[in-house]
Structure 1
């Protein structure tokens, strides 16, 4: 990439108006997805905004300001978060998030000592691809329940709102160009929300009564709750960490191509993954969901060619400020369920399709019985909801069981193929 085509390089300081507008673009790019995860899992969207801002600032500091990235809520953990909340409440989610952050940090330290090739051998496309498909497909019934009002007979208002939200999102994604095409989720939510108003599905009273400044509902260990470790929480969250780790590596490769720098070498995958881990740990101690680097913001970078790290600092500050605005928090909570349901139909499908794309781009040979067996077992165990229970304290089920089984099969079965590192995350 020629320097003359760069609007702002990584360490360039933008002018005030440029800083404000371009930071707001990054805020919009991450906003829809970051608030969608807590909305779907019953967490506080305001806390998610604050945690994403703090996480991004921590990531920038740890990577020495060399990686222009925004960190927001991870979709990979939606299903285990829902399961943990049902069994252990919000406190269990925070414990699980802390565990995930520690796993990221531990793997980062190992990479620092040994390099990254072992991780690629442990998590080849034939394992990670089907696991990603399981994440999306296992959530499909949740999206349908959201647009049908959780009833056997469809609620016509809910279905209409859900479909309108979905259609708007698809139109924006397919038929627009430039920055607008990067934020179809946000526009779909806004469009669905506006359509919901005449349908009588929006209650404005909480927004009117909300204060402009309001402390989010933080969950702070040893202050609002006492954390307790359990193997069930560990086994629900830890195996799923496979996916964001693979996603993180992919994002660093793609981002490196966009900004024409080898981020795997400088600042190093160990530092960026450690930053991801610390970001998730920070989220866990205030009540936010696990975080991950966002492809949406990488898309904005590619379009604007403005790579300045200051833009991400600005977006993070905006996010923290929005989190403390009671009016915005009430507005987010007023978004009707079918709006998020319609958006989720597309997003959950995209997650599954991303797993399929990884397998296709990596040229996985399904004529091989070995590959066919690994992917088949992962898909059926994960989507079918298989589980193993030993007494009352140990259980392994669904996505966690599928992930661990896939990793083990890949190590045990003969005929392991050489992993093509670059093609695994082909842009």
Structure 2
């Protein structure tokens, strides 16, 4: 494989995946099939990638542009060893919304840049010293708590959009639920996207959609770029996001490693640095922060195709779509009711993802340290506790994340000193 990871070997006859085999990252099928798989990845990332800028009032086309750029950059930095699409990260929704209220869009973009720089630095440390220390600093009880409180902290925002158009919101939510349980394969995995489309049709029928900007927009043109502003006050909002991005990226690398049978621990640091660099670029130009997408893991699991060639296709396709202002304005017309229905599911899923991390990590909540860590962090995050120190403002997500880390490590140190630890941290298998 070349330094760019663009020299792929043909898998078998190039037309099918051999029984019991997978198409490895450094392999590809025939180009027509590879292009088809790449387009599936575009569809898989589409709903979630666009939902973030719509919820945060950012230009969808700009986010799509930096999503495509970020994906291609990720493939280059990881030398084609990790198949991944970089889409909009849900972890950025809450800090972007909070920082916009005080510092505007420019201030929010500054926070995105800061988070990207921090993530890249973590990646450099991981690449130098290995990823084992991440599990020491952020064991499952801490990581799960942080992920859960980020999703549940957004519950009031979901309700605000829902009550703006409750009929449309309810239709959207019910459609998402039904699609997820009635269909298998790719359709089931695209339940949020399909639910949003159904809700959008209902909104149009109810006269809740304004197409004036769509009609006025050109078919071809540059995305809307905007430069960031840097304020010290946003750091407390965006620092916790880095912890989530680290967990997501490392989890993605481990998942791909397990599915392909290749040991990718040596490239985990590169993956973090690549996502950090992509997030910095997005923040510098007006896009949302990025992360590796679990949605696209589903496509790979279904097709058995882990070729990075398909992700080059997906990234290039995203770039092409981003150069249509009319397309971007059409996405931006999604009304509040549809967003409320989708957000009710989406934000709840983020919260439950934290619980999933606890389950997979076999966290033992009979252990007083574990239950105290989760209890304090969740209440601080969900209730949105706030602490102002000069120009710095620490809201629920930042304080909840800090509480998870401080309570866990503080109690662990004291318990070891006093010899009072009685229950194991993890459940026995």
Question: Would you call these one fold, judging by a TM-score over 0.5?
Answer: yes
String of CA shifts for 1:16-47, please: whole Å, max 9, x gaps: 43233211110010010001011111111111
Partner of 2:209: 202
Contact 2:22/2:260 (8 A) holds in 1: no
Partner of 1:407: 405
Contact 1:124/1:419 (8 A) holds in 2: no
Partner of 1:371: 370
Q: 1:173 aligns with which of 163, 177, 180?
A: 180
Q: 1:24 aligns with which of 39, 44, 47?
A: 39
Distance 1:177 1:295 in 2: 17
Distance 1:389 1:220 in 2: 27
Contact 2:171/2:341 (8 A) holds in 1: yes
Q: 1:9 aligns with which of 24, 34, 45?
A: 24
CA shift at 1:207, angstroms?
2.1
Partner of 1:193: 200
Distance 1:407 1:189 in 2: 37
Distance 1:5 1:203 in 2: 51
Distance 1:126 1:36 in 2: 28
Partner of 1:384: 383
Distance 1:6 1:315 in 2: 23
Partner of 1:213: 220
Contact 2:148/2:350 (8 A) holds in 1: yes
Extract unaligned runs of 5+ from structure 1.
Answer: 150-157, 222-226
Partner of 2:8: none
Partner of 2:334: 335
The 5 A counterparts of 1:40-189 are 40-149=55-164, 158-189=165-196
Contact 2:226/2:286 (8 A) holds in 1: yes
Contact 1:6/1:306 (8 A) holds in 2: no
Contact 2:367/2:425 (8 A) holds in 1: no
Query: What RMSD, in angstroms, separates the aligned Cα atoms of the two structures?
Result: 1.9
Distance 2:280 2:311 in 1: 20
- Report the more deviating stretch, 331-340 or 108-117: 108-117
String of CA shifts for 1:374-400, please: whole Å, max 9, x gaps: 111101111111122223x12222110
- Report the more deviating stretch, 43-52 or 187-196: 187-196
CA shift at 1:361, angstroms?
2.1
SS in 1 for 2:143: helix
Distance 2:326 2:145 in 1: 41
SS in 2 for 1:197: helix
CA shift at 1:343, angstroms?
0.9
Report whether the alignment pairs 1:239 with 2:206: no
CA shift at 1:419, angstroms?
7.9
> What TM-score, normalized to structure 2?
0.90
- Report the more deviating stretch, 134-143 or 9-18: 9-18
SS in 1 for 2:285: coil
Distance 1:314 1:163 in 2: 36
String of CA shifts for 1:132-165, please: whole Å, max 9, x gaps: 111111111111111211xxxxxxxx21111111
String of CA shifts for 1:352-374, please: whole Å, max 9, x gaps: 11111111222211112211211
CA shift at 1:206, angstroms?
2.4
Distance 1:20 1:207 in 2: 29
Contact 2:234/2:393 (8 A) holds in 1: no
Partner of 2:260: 259
Partner of 1:349: 348
SS in 2 for 1:292: strand
Tell me the number of residue pairs that the alignment of Structure 1 and Structure 2 aligns.
Answer: 403
Partner of 2:7: none
CA shift at 1:7, angstroms?
6.2
Sort the Cα spacing of 1:21 and 1:113 in 2 relative to 1 into closer, same or farther, 3 A.
closer
